[in-house]
């Protein structure tokens, strides 16, 4: 799966979060890190988009939307001819948003300071995905990155890696298999603890069937309780 | 009441709608027609905003939002220091949006091609008004201007004039008094039919009390029926 990460950040050199994310995915050969500038070639950008399976818009929240640099790029590159008409060039590809904000998660709801949820505020992107026949992914929102402790940062890093590289984000089982692959890759990358890790991985795989059964039973029980 | 109309249109010279709107308000001395360019002075723009009672963002819908030129201007001019902090420079002022689109009104709803209502798509502006303590006005959306017949265009023109110049948009009674003022202004502007118009205006004024009673009775009856 090929993923293009379109970074729309007018002050990229002063961002704390973006270098953290960049480092998290630099070992994935199918991931393309693509910071926007105001100067770009429309045809080249369109060609780049065509080669992807997943397209990510990654930006800090500026006035409840993306910075102008992303809109400028969208207004120019996403021509009607390119994305609709007979071609629907982006049809079937996935669109994900990675949005960072200095405000707390609890502020984004009715009655709180920001008044609307992030899903509501990102409607224009959802409408764009709808119009261009892309599959709109659940948002990945990062609230107050600088307040995260090392454990929380580590969890965020893994979530981000999954968001960028996991072909299927929506199921528990697919997350498990993504972890298995990650572990296998690390073992193959001449890890000094290879034997130990291989043993862990084998154990995980053996227990996968057991876990699947458990997961299914749990979800059924939960449904019964909820109804 | 002083109104600033901020025009965000990258191809203003080829717009059919904007000259129509410009002509509709050019005789109002308290209305400031302000087309954006990419080159502006932040302090001068802030000073201009401070002098207004109502601020209008007027633009064609580009990918379910304003063209990038407006976001660029907002991201630069609407600094945190200016609009929040101790100053809340725009507090109490009104924010209105005049949005034009080539798609039909019926397309903007769940289940239709555009999927979301215009109110939903404009949430980022509503959130902006909320944050800056402005009063967010109901939208004025123009669908498929080129399909309007002369009568519909005339109605749109009057709606637009009200949207720009009527201090209170929300009540039937205030619309009536806006029309009275408009008529009075035209009589004073040495109209050849002055006497005739004055007679009409007097009749309207005399009937105002009667109309108010009728309006109130109607709305009470309607409430009873609805409940």
For chain B, the structural domain boundaries read 3-168, 171-227
Beta carbons of A141 and A94 less than 8 angstroms apart: no
Residues of A in contact with B72 (CB under 8 A): 68, 72
* Nearest Cβ partner for A124 among B64, B74, B127: B64
CB of B131 within 8 Å of a chain A CB? The answer is yes
Place of tokens 């005739």: B196
Is A113's CB within 8 Å of B131's CB?
yes
pLDDT at B214 > cutoff 80: no
Instruction: Give the integer Cα–Cα distance in Å for B109 and B104.
Output: 11
pLDDT in tens, B146-162: 999 999 999 999 999 99
**Minimum Cα–Cα distance from B64: chain A residue:** A124
CB of A115 within 8 Å of a chain B CB? The answer is yes
Q: Could you tell me how many helices (H) and strands (E) chain B has, helices first?
A: 9, 6
Angle between helices B150-165 and B172-188 (to 10 degrees): 100
Q: What is the mean pLDDT of residues A156-174?
A: 87
Percent share of chain B, pLDDT over 70: 97
Q: Measured between alpha carbons, how far is residue A76 from residues A38, A193, B80, B110, B197 in Å?
A: 11, 50, 29, 28, 52
Is A114's CB within 8 Å of B131's CB?
yes
Distant-in-sequence contacts of A185-192, Cβ < 8 A, 24+ apart = none
pLDDT at B117 > cutoff 70: yes
Cβ burial of B184 (10 Å; 0-12, 13-18, 19+) is: middle
Rg of chain A taking only CA atoms, in angstroms? 20
Question: B13: pLDDT confidence band, cut at 50, 70 and 90?
Answer: very high
Residues of B in contact with A72 (CB under 8 A): 68, 72
Beta carbons of A15 and A9 less than 8 angstroms apart: yes
- The segment with the largest mean pLDDT, out of A181-190, B65-74, B198-207, is B65-74
Instruction: Give the integer Cα–Cα distance in Å for A11 and A156.
Output: 22
Instruction: Give the integer Cα–Cα distance in Å for B173 and B211.
Output: 9
First-to-final CA distance of chain A: 38
Is A127's CB within 8 Å of B115's CB?
yes
Q: What angle do CA B172, B98, A42 make, to 5 degrees?
A: 165
CB of B105 within 8 Å of a chain A CB? The answer is no
pLDDT in tens, A44-100: 999 999 999 999 999 999 999 999 999 999 999 999 999 987 679 999 999 999 999
pLDDT given for residue A87 in this prediction: 78
Residues of A in contact with B136 (CB under 8 A): none
Instruction: Give the integer Cα–Cα distance in Å for B6 and B42.
Output: 14
Question: B190: pLDDT confidence band, cut at 50, 70 and 90?
Answer: low
CB of A215 within 8 Å of a chain B CB? The answer is no
Residues of B in contact with A124 (CB under 8 A): 63-65, 121, 124
CB of A35 within 8 Å of a chain B CB? The answer is no
Among A19-23, B154-158, B171-175, the minimum mean pLDDT is found in B171-175
pLDDT in tens, A89-109: 999 999 999 999 999 999 999
pLDDT at A190 > cutoff 70: no
- State the architecture of A3-168 in CATH terms: 3-Layer(aba) Sandwich (3.40)
CB of A180 within 8 Å of a chain B CB? The answer is no
pLDDT given for residue A182 in this prediction: 80
Q: Name the average pLDDT for chain B.
A: 91
Q: Quote the pTM value.
A: 0.87
Q: What is the mean pLDDT of residues A169-191?
A: 75
Q: What is the mean pLDDT of residues A125-151?
A: 97
pLDDT at A183 > cutoff 90: no
Question: A174: pLDDT confidence band, cut at 50, 70 and 90?
Answer: confident
pLDDT at B15 > cutoff 70: yes
Is B130's CB within 8 Å of A115's CB?
yes
Is A64's CB within 8 Å of B115's CB?
no
């Amino acid at each position: 799966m090929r993923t293009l990460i379109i970074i729309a950040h007018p002050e990229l050199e002063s961002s704390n979060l973006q270098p953290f994310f960049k480092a998290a995915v630099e070992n994935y050969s199918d991931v393309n890190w693509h910071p926007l500038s105001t100067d770009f070639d429309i045809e080249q950008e369109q060609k780049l988009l065509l080669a992807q399976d997943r397209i990510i818009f990654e930006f800090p929240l500026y006035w409840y939307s993306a910075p102008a640099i992303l809109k400028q790029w969208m207004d120019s590159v996403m021509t009607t001819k390119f994305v609709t008409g007979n071609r629907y060039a982006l049809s079937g590809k996935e669109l994900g948003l990675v949005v960072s904000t200095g405000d707390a998660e609890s502020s984004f709801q009715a009655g709180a300071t920001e008044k609307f949820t992030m899903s509501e505020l990102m409607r224009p992107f959802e409408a764009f995905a709808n119009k261009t026949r892309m599959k709109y992914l659940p948002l990945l929102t990062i609230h107050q990155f600088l307040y995260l402790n090392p454990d929380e940062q580590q969890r965020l890093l893994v979530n981000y890696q999954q968001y960028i590289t996991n072909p299927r984000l929506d199921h528990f089982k697919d997350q498990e298999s993504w972890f298995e692959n990650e572990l296998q890759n690390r073992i193959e990358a001449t890890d000094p603890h290879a034997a130990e890790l291989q043993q862990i991985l084998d154990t995980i795989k053996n227990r996968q069937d057991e876990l699947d059964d458990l997961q299914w039973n749990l979800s059924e029980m939960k449904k019964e309780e909820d109804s």
